[in-house]
Chains A and B, each alone.
Chain A
Amino acid sequence: MNKIFKFNLIFKLLISIVILCFINTSFALVQTNEFTTKSGIQVVLVTDKTTDLISISMAFTGAGSISDPLHKCGLSFTAMEMLYRGKIDGLNRHKRIRKLIKLGVLYGINLNISYDNLYINFKTPKENFTKTLQEVNKILMFRDFDIDDLNNIKTYIPQNTNINMSEETAFANKVLLNKVFPEHPYGNPINGMYDDKQTLTKTDLINYLDNSLAKDNLYISVVGDINQKQLEKVIDTTFSNLPKNTKLAKLPKPKLILNGDITTMYKDSPQSGASFIQDGIQTKHKDYYALVTLLDILSAKPFTSRLWYETREKRGIVYDIGADLQNSLKNKAFIIGRFKCDNDNVQTIIDIIRNEWRKIKEKGVSNQEFEDAKTGLIGSYALNFTTPESICSYLLFLKLQKINVDFIKNRNKKIKSLTLKDVNAATKYLTPEKLTFVIVGKPQLGNKTSINTKKNTNSNTNTNTSANTKIKTDTNFKTNTKTESKTKPKQ
């Protein structure tokens, strides 16, 4: 009797385990829950009871700087700045921030514009989540802008940014994108053009907000101690007054124009900052992970990449250098890199970069390099989930890329399934001769290919690099000027 009893127990236990294994739909590093609210807003939720704060990342897709109409470059940025810094419901920015701090929202409600999207991020004590979300809605729905405020915002140049004007690499990045996307808004600075911004009116801002912010382009990711039912109710109630559909114009697909040349912009600085670029492939491409693994070996991974070794370890001529696959833009991916070094060493580093590109194309990677990179990519994946903000940000990124969050449990399998052949085949995407550089500083260059430099100590610098490209820069190099993701998730 006892033997039968024991057998029954073990048998039933095993059966239950087997059954339950197949029932669960999302094994993951974190338990995610994707749903669309009754009003059509897409949400990803991670219920985390270990924290008493709720982190939230929101994105309105298509509402970034690419939506700026012709001759109104900076409209989205200015609108975002008005919502962030301007007076809302009679309260100026400082008073609004103080109100939020009293709710425990210590870092405020952060608004950011990227090329594609408008982002909103904040963290709040869970007991004040509803109130904080209501504040967000108040900001997004506000239209009664003060004209004086608008005029101030249009001419606003943060003083501390001026004092930090030596960010040559960031400037080089801006100029580079302008050069390689001559006919597309990706080539315009996210914070807009000064002259265009002066022509913006209140009506422009209102039209932008009415057309760009709606339920059908709103994506939200949440991490915290809240369940789906509670969250859905709060979101639908709070954003009930958002219009259902956006009215954004469709844009042509961007085309990357790469000449493989070096453009320099003179700046009297002891060091030069550089940015370089070539074409890439998007996340859903079949060779995406093979290329990511290849780039890890070549240039993306600090301390161990070939590029790092050649420039820092072997020669000691650079402190930081890297290039990785930028895939967070909606319709374009590219490999973009940067470095900063003494003016004398710029040509050496450019030569090393091209040489490493060629070498890996010709000879591929070794099995050891491949295995190490693969293991590293697998092991580092968990680091996307160390803080609620990083989880939020990553899940939102997946949503915006139209990748189901179940991908999280399959991602490492994809990497594991790569072969050496796959990674070496991905070298076909590297184009050393098309690598295009922009250098800001006083570089000592060897063979310049297409350079038109102008000595100008004024930080407003105009440089024509081709007949069709006018690079106009502002002194307003704000940290809001960036590519899609705040912290690049480990792919």
Chain B
Amino acid sequence: MENKLNINKIFKPYKPCKPYKACKPFILFFSLLLISNFALADNIKIAKTSLPKNIPTIKEKVINNNKSSIQSNNKPIAKKQLSANNKTKKLPITINNFTLKNGLQVIHIPNHRAPVVNHTIWYKAGSADSPYNKSGLAHFVEHLMFKGTTKYPLEEYKKIINKLGAVQNAYTYYDTTMYYVTVAKEYLDNIMELESDRMQNLVFTEKVIEKERSVVLQERRERIESNPIHKIAEAANATFFWLHPYGMPNIGYKHHIESYTLNDAKNFYNTWYCPNNAILVITGDIDLNTVKLLTHKYYEKIPQKILPKRDRPIEPEHHNVKGKLQISDPQINNVFLQRIYDAPNARTTNIKTALSLHVLAHILGDSTSGRLHKSFVEQFGIAHQITASFNGTFRDPYSFTISATPVNQSDLTFLETAIEYEILKLIKNGVTKEELRNSKNEIQYSFRYENDSLTSISEYIGLNLANGISLEDILSWLDIIENITLSDISKVANDYLKIGPRITVYTYPISYN
């Protein structure tokens, strides 16, 4: 018996074939490829692209924090994961994550719906990092970031942004400051050049400082002093936090703003604005190779800095001291109640505890499906609205808050007692399986909505990373939430709500008797 391999079966002899027949699939393939390029490019041939012409293949591997959730091959998520199954546990998202040699963390989330990209840079310094007698300095520096650098002075910078048709803005949070730009994808190169430049070369002049101080005061008057809701929030925070800078307004107090100097702004910028204190999130119609090339080109050369210890005043023990704050204002027309409880945060506590509090806030205080809403708004009709919220992703512990607007101003005390009763009932009897299931489903649906927008998903990932939560933790949230049990909910309710609110805020119109 012959055991030789039949070579003709393995390798078919080459026969020249009719060109058209052989090439038909290739013609179709290349034609479709070219057509799709025309289709997308027809309206985006706005200017010459400044992307490098020859893009070599990146050989280094993507660093994945959570291999089970991060797609390492850059393909869109498989449809089966996005199916009707709302019990999807894993975060259905493609994320690429790498860090440059100078410490800049780069997150890339591809989305090819439209030829647009969003470039957001998160500096890990916010208003809570402002010097204690210069509240809001971080916000002031945010304003100054739009005033030009040595290479791109103010007018030049504005012209470029204008020419690119980019939409840009910035926000200062307590723990981070972010700068975002959304632009047609071929301008990502230009944007990175501008952003990397202003990370290191911002120019400070007395004239600009003076002008911008005036603008920030104007903003404070518009956003806080003319707005009763923000005035209440400012007073409530100042009462709740005895020492921690979360008790100061993000925008700063008026007398602090008036005292800002050039050196104050410069020192803050020089201390905190550097690549090893920043996270760059790029979402949109751009591939990983290009992101890597551009970040290497523009950001890698920026030297890192030695960062100071993020030494904030620590909130002291409160020794069960509880307070009541009463606020009246001529611009307020209604009675409003807030019960503010001490609560941990995701970064410094067990993540399951923080997420359980998140679910508890939803079950208790969702504006349409929450227990409190069903009882007080629908069943008894004693409140116009009642909600619960939990701020668990701040860098330091913040609060759990229940807010309500009574129907009749005279029902305030009754409403307070009723809320207390409802919480004790929950602690004693727990929540139902249906409530827990509905809450989990809704949280999972909400992620699908976040993921549907370039800016939403960028903020979802960027803000939490900047607040000190690891990417691995963020990506495992849906998993953890899925595994939260009825007893987890009861436990956090007992641990954090049973003790009662540390501060209760009553807001009245001037006419209230």
Contacts and interface: CB of A to CB of B under 8 A. Distances in A.
A binds B: yes
Interface string A382-412: 1101111001000000000000000011011
A376 interface: yes
A94 B371 CA distance: 12
Nearest to A13: B27
B378 A53 contact: no
Nearest to A159: B384
Contacts of B183: 379, 383
B333 interface: yes
Given A164-B228, A301-B162, A379-B184, A5 B218 contact: no
A52 B445 CA distance: 11
A20 interface: yes
B385 A383 contact: no
Contact of A53 (B219, B331, B438, B448): B448
| Residue with the greatest number of chain A CB neighbours at <10 A, chosen from B162, B225, B377, B446 | B162
A379 B218 contact: no
B42 A377 contact: no
Interface in B203-220: 211-215, 218-219
B339 interface: no
B369 interface: yes
A382 B115 contact: yes
A339 B266 CA distance: 31
B144 to A, nearest CB: 13
A487 B428 CA distance: 47
Contacts of B39: 24, 27-28, 31
B43 A409 contact: yes
A102 B165 contact: no
Interface string A297-336: 0000101100000001110111110000000000000000
Contacts of B334: 159, 162-163
A123 to B, nearest CB: 7
B19 A5 contact: yes
Interface stretch (B394-402, B449-457, B474-482): B449-457
B113 A340 contact: no
A384 B219 CA distance: 28
Contact of B166 (A4, A28, A29, A380): A380
B224 to A, nearest CB: 10
A303 B155 CA distance: 10
B58 interface: no
Contacts of B82: 52
Interface string B66-79: 00000000001001
Contacts of A159: 334, 384-385, 405
Contacts of B46: 375, 378-379, 412
A19 to B, nearest CB: 9
Interface stretch (B30-38, B123-131, B295-303): B30-38
A261 B455 CA distance: 42
A149 to B, nearest CB: 14
A379 B27 contact: no
| Residue with the greatest number of chain A CB neighbours at <10 A, chosen from B35, B114, B182, B454 | B114
Contacts of B215: 312, 316, 319
A357 to B, nearest CB: 21
Nearest to A380: B165
Interface in B29-62: 30-32, 34-35, 38-40, 42-44, 46-47
B35 A20 contact: yes
Interface in B68-113: 76, 79, 82-84, 86, 111-113
Interface string A13-35: 10011001100100111110000
Interface in B355-371: 368-369
A340 B222 contact: yes
Interface string A340-351: 111000000000
B227 interface: yes
Nearest to A26: B39
Contacts of B83: 52, 127
B445 A106 contact: yes
Nearest to A52: B82
A51 interface: yes
Interface stretch (A191-199, A268-276, A280-288): A268-276
A127 B84 contact: yes
A271 B47 CA distance: 43
Interface in B132-188: 146, 158-159, 161-167, 182-184, 187
Contacts of B27: 9, 12-13, 16
B44 A382 contact: yes
B182 A383 contact: yes
A101 interface: yes
B113 A50 contact: yes
Contacts of B377: 94
Contacts of B446: 106
Contacts, number: 233
B272 interface: no
A21 B31 CA distance: 9
Nearest to A95: B378
Contacts of A53: 448-449, 452
A152 to B, nearest CB: 11
Contact of B35 (A24, A29, A313): A24
Nearest to B23: A9
B290 interface: no
A48 interface: yes
B294 interface: no
Contacts of A467: none
A20 B36 CA distance: 11
Given A92-B378, A319-B215, A372 B165 contact: no
A411 B46 CA distance: 12
A27 B115 CA distance: 13
A160 interface: yes
Contacts of A127: 83-84
B332 interface: yes
A326 B449 CA distance: 30
Contact of B113 (A4, A98, A385): A385
Nearest to A46: B113
Nearest to A10: B23
Contacts of A31: 39
A97 B442 CA distance: 12
A380 B221 contact: no
A372 B166 CA distance: 12
A271 B222 contact: yes
A20 B31 contact: yes
Contact of B211 (A5, A20, A168, A316): A316
A181 interface: no
Contacts of A270: 221, 225-226
Contacts of B228: 163-164, 166
B441 interface: yes
A416 to B, nearest CB: 9
Contact of A163 (B44, B79, B112, B229): B229
A29 B114 contact: yes
Contacts of B378: 92, 94
B159 A304 contact: yes
B336 interface: yes
Interface string A165-179: 110100000000000
A386 B283 CA distance: 11
Contact of A386 (B79, B114, B218, B227): B114
Nearest to A388: B452
A104 B86 CA distance: 9
B115 A106 contact: no
A113 B243 CA distance: 48
Contact of A50 (B112, B333, B449): B112
A4 B16 CA distance: 12
Given A52-B448, A316-B215, A319-B215, 9 more contacts: A8-B20, A50-B111, A52-B79, A127-B84, A271-B221, A316-B214, A380-B165, A382-B43, A383-B167
18 contacts: A16-B27, A17-B31, A30-B114, A98-B368, A104-B441, A127-B84, A159-B384, A160-B405, A165-B331, A165-B333, A271-B226, A304-B161, A312-B215, A314-B211, A376-B163, A382-B114, A382-B165, A391-B114
